Amino acid sequence: MPTREFKAGVIKDLESIFVEGKVAIVADLNGYTVAELTQFRRSLDKQGAKCRVAKNTLVKIATEKTEFKAIAELAKGPTTVVVGYDDPAQPAKAVVDFIKTMKKGSVKGGVLDGQSLSVEEVKGLAELPSKEQLLSSIMGGLDSGARNIAGILNAVIRDIAVLVEEVAKKKDEAA
């Protein structure tokens, strides 16, 4: 039986991962081996996300004063919580892809901006392009717009230069 101090340490650890979190995905990863979970955790580390497995009561206590308190509704049965810090789509994509690849486990839901997400919403979040892809797309659109404006301005300047040249030729012919 875990001691009260041990449980307090687990709660403090859980609270620390939720402090800066943007999104939390709740999944049932029951049946995975230690090696598979280690592989999953390492993939999350590369994406700026953290994974914790803890007793539901401890997860509920750790989130009750945060915007992630909606996790209490999802924390039933075996629970793994994945918290993302930068791009909300990345942790969702990692969890959904891992479960799909391993063909075991399930997504229970998630929390984004204090709002509970259903399984379908988490899967939809996973299908969104990453933050980098969205920024790249926006920059591409802005860049093409700037190029079009530069081309138009260049054409106007060229037309003015041609007009000035024609006027100069007519003056030379008239003189």
Q: Is the pLDDT of residue 151 over 80?
A: no
Where in the chain are the domains? 4-128, 129-175
How confident is the model at residue 143, as a pLDDT? Answer: 67
- The CATH superfamily assigned to 4-128 is Ribosomal protein L10, N-terminal RNA-binding domain (3.30.70.1730)
How confident is the model at residue 170, as a pLDDT? Answer: 79
87: left (phi over 0), alpha (psi -120 to 50) or beta: beta
Q: Is 88 exposed, middle or buried (0-12, 13-18, 19+ CB in 10 A)?
A: buried
| pTM, 2 dp | 0.68
How confident is the model at residue 146, as a pLDDT? Answer: 67
Q: What DSSP line would sit under 36-88, residue for residue?
A: HHHHHHHHHHHTTEEEEE--HHHHHHHHTTSTTTTHHHH--SS-EEEEESS-T
pLDDT, one tens digit per residue, over 23-82 is 889 998 888 888 888 888 888 888 888 888 888 888 888 888 888 888 888 888 778 888
User: d(Cα 139, Cα 141) in Å, to the nearest integer?
Assistant: 5
Q: Which residue has the higher pLDDT, 162 or 175?
A: 162
Q: Region 84-91: what's the mean pLDDT?
A: 84
